[in-house]
Amino acid sequence: MDYQDELVFLTINRKLDLAGVEIKEGQDLPLIKSSMVQNLKDKNWQESIPFIDFLLGMVLCQTVDPALAQSQGYDKILQKSPYQGQVISRIMTGDFDRQAKMDFLTSLEKLHIKEEDITYLKTTLKEEEIRQGKEEGQDLERSLIPIIKSYGKISEESPFFGQALLRLSGIYAGLGHYIKARHYAREALLKDMPEEVKNQARLAIEELEDYANMEAVESYLNLQDLEKAKKHLNKVSQQYPNPDHVHYFLASIALAENDLEASKSHYQEALKLADQGLYHERLAFVNSQLGLIQEAIDHYEKALEKGSDPYTIHHNLAYLYLERKPEEALYHAKAAYNLNNSQELEDLIKTLEKDEKDLDREDEFK
């Protein structure tokens, strides 16, 4: 946005008193050209230009030339005006690019106008900038830490407090921290907020409930608290969009309880819903525990094709092939060793290579 080119002035030919703000006769008041051109066809606008449009022009003048704004008293008018909230709203909803909005808000912030509110709005612009400028491999969570801190400082007295809570909820949901996301949405619902904010909070809670429960299931499984894991899994609704995840966790719980048949059944259901390498890998492990060696090998091979954990798969295939195909066992042992050169694998490779040489000698003897 070319700020200088956007600034135009109209001379007021009579003394005005607008909401307690005195405008002297002959004073030049600024307007934003694009806004002026857009509204000129409106006869009512021509006959009575809304004071808010002049205030927006003063903000632009304050941005372009603070000294001029001060000499004309625009800074005092902006500070005295009862329409500050409307000015800020027009800036945020107007057809300005992100940088222009940021510059306008910075100008108002320097005048100490609704400083906390402006800080909130500037933070929303910075958040948008971070999200749109995200590069591959960038740690989004680390980039958003200053944004999270800024939203967290918005006081309950601010009209944007509820929105700040919902913003935090949205950030944490996007990062996969659903329990935290639900917490902030619930906070927004519990506070004395406008009904619009409460409706947004209710919708967020409804959308987050299943994800938060699934996150809790994973946490309790990691802690080996199976009862709490089952409790939260039972709370997941039929509308949860990833039913394969539900079967995966049911299979994990059954495996932890040593119910291998139930675990196998749920891994199979998960695979019917989503053909993922991890599900093949876990089903292969269960099959190996059930003594179904060929089925285990087949699923490990499929998991390998789908890019699942190569070290674990090669390692396990080496032992599964040990009695069946020693040459395959050697291949997988070497592949696993290249990924993690443990003593265990080194010993296995030496044993298999020795067996292979002994077998070759026997063939030569024959």
| DSSP letters spanning 308-353 | --HHHHHHHHHHHSTTT-HHHHHHHHHHHHHHS--HHHHHHHHHHH
In angstroms, the CA 29 to CA 45 distance is 15
What average pLDDT does the segment 158-164 reach?
A: 89
What average pLDDT does the segment 340-357 reach?
A: 88
Q: Which of 33-42, 264-273, 337-346 has the lowest mean pLDDT?
A: 33-42
Are residues 220 and 213 in contact, defined by beta-carbon separation less than 8 angstroms?
no
Report the pLDDT value the prediction gives residue 47, as an integer from 0 to 100.
60
Report the pLDDT value the prediction gives residue 96, as an integer from 0 to 100.
85
What average pLDDT does the segment 83-100 reach?
A: 84
Report the pLDDT value the prediction gives residue 139, as an integer from 0 to 100.
85
Report the pLDDT value the prediction gives residue 85, as an integer from 0 to 100.
82
Report the pLDDT value the prediction gives residue 177, as an integer from 0 to 100.
96
The most confident of the ranges 69-78, 84-93, 179-188 is: 179-188
- Judged against a pLDDT cut of 60, whether residue 203 lies above it is answered with yes
Higher pLDDT, 220 or 84: 220
Q: Which uninterrupted H or E stretch holds 10?
A: strand 7-11
End-to-end Cα separation, the chain, in angstroms: 89
- Judged against a pLDDT cut of 70, whether residue 216 lies above it is answered with yes
What's the chain's average pLDDT?
88
In angstroms, the CA 218 to CA 233 distance is 10
Report the pLDDT value the prediction gives residue 270, as an integer from 0 to 100.
97
In angstroms, the CA 166 to CA 32 distance is 33
Backbone angles phi and psi of 67, in degrees to 5: -65, -45
- Judged against a pLDDT cut of 70, whether residue 134 lies above it is answered with no
Using a pLDDT cut of 70, give the percent of the chain over it: 91
Report the pLDDT value the prediction gives residue 38, as an integer from 0 to 100.
64
